[in-house]
Amino acid sequence: MSNTISALPGATYEGAVRVQEMGLCGMISLRGDHGDEKLISAIKDIMGTVMPGQREIVHQDERAAAWMSPDELLLLLPYADVRDALTRLETALAGTHFLAVNVSDARAVFRLHGGSAREVIAKLCPVDMSPGAFGPGQIRRTRMAQIPAAFWMPDEDSVHVVCFRSVAQYAFDLLKQSAHPQAGVGLYA
């Protein structure tokens, strides 16, 4: 474990918001029938959350379950807990048709923190970031400039963005540029 590194270790930028690569984050991609009782109770047992509804993310302490598609969830948890969680999922869901894989290393995660976090995202993603339309408890899978990305708001002033690991530098550069201190739009901030 000691030689495991995230995509852009320690990358930070202080602009209109603070942009920070979040280091190693545990992530499991789970495909299965969202209505299946076994799956619902496995999520409850292992993640401590209810099943998220469409475009929702449900948090519990250090863990969260996010809706990715009608048959796909993204489970967020500490990096060190992934193998154990996968084992428990395999046991709990034995006999049902599902797919649970570790995708922690396939991703990079960034945290934006500051009053204009919504605007930084709205420059890159075709999403209505106004407070009435998007906020904590929701997740969007979308496009960030030229790459796929997903994001959610752990609180009113923060956005967590997840993208593929190979494009972490591109994503960080994009976010830095959008968070330029003199580039405020003044619409949401």
Partner 1 sequence: MSTRLATGGRLLDKGRALEFTFNGKRLKGYEGDTLASALLANDQMMVGRSFKYHRPRGIVASGAEEPNALFNMGAGGKFEPNQRATTTELFDGLTCASQNHWPSLEFDIGAINNSLARFLPAGFYYKMFMHPRPLWKHVYEPFIRQSAGLGKAPRDRDEDTYEHFYAFFDVVVIGGGIAGLLAAREAGRAGAKVLLMEQTAHWGGRAPVDGGTVDGRPVDKVVEEIVSELNEMNNVTLRTRLMGAGVYDHGYLMGYERLTDHQPQAKGPRHRLWRIRAAQIVTATGAIERPLSFAGNDIPGVMLASAVRDYAVDYGVSIGDRTVVVTNNDDAYLTAITLKKLGLDVPAIIDARPQGAGALAEEAKALGIRIETGKGVAKVKGGRRVTGVAICMQAGEGAALEEIACDVVAMSGGWSPVVHLWSHCGGKLLWDNENAMFKPDVDKAPTGAAGEAFVVAAGAANGALKLADTVADAHAAGRKAAKSAGNTPMSGDAPKADSSLENPMQPIWLMPQGAKYELRAKAWLDYQNDVKVSDVQLAAREGFESVEHAKRYTTLGMATDQGKLSNINGLAILSDALDQPIPQTGTTTFRPPYTPISMGAIAGEARGPVFQPLRRTPMHDWHEANSAYWEPVGHWRRPYTFRKTPGEAIDAAVSREITQTRQSLGLLDASTLGKLVVKGPDAGKFLDMLYTNMMSTLKPGRCRYGLMCSENGFLMDDGVVARLDEDTFLCHTTTGGADSIHAHMEDWLQCEWWDWNVYVANLTEQYAQIGVVGPNARKTLEKLSDDDLSAEALPFMAWTDITLAGIKARAYRISFSGELSYEIAVDAGQGRALWDKLMEAGAEFGVTPYGTEALHVMRAEKGFIMIGDETDGTVIPQDLCMDWAISKKKDDYLGKRAQARSFMANTERWKLVGLETIDGSVLPDGAYAVTDGTNANGQRNTQGRVTSSYHSPTLGRGIAMGLVHNGPDRMGQVIDIPKVDGTVIKAKIVPPVFYDPEGKKQNV
The least CB distance from residue 168 to partner 1, in Å, is: 8
Cβ-based nearer residue to partner 1, 47 or 125: 125
d(C-alpha 27, C-alpha 186), whole Å = 34
The least CB distance from residue 27 to partner 1, in Å, is: 10
Cβ-based nearer residue to partner 1, 59 or 129: 129
Cβ-based nearer residue to partner 1, 60 or 83: 83
d(C-alpha 133, C-alpha 187), whole Å = 14
Cβ-based nearer residue to partner 1, 56 or 105: 105
**Interface contacts to partner 1, rule CB under 8 A:** 3-6, 24, 29, 31-32, 71, 97-99, 101-107, 119, 122-130, 133, 145-147, 164-170, 173-174, 177-178, 180-185, 187
DSSP state of 18: E
d(C-alpha 148, C-alpha 59), whole Å = 23
77, β-bridge pairs: 26
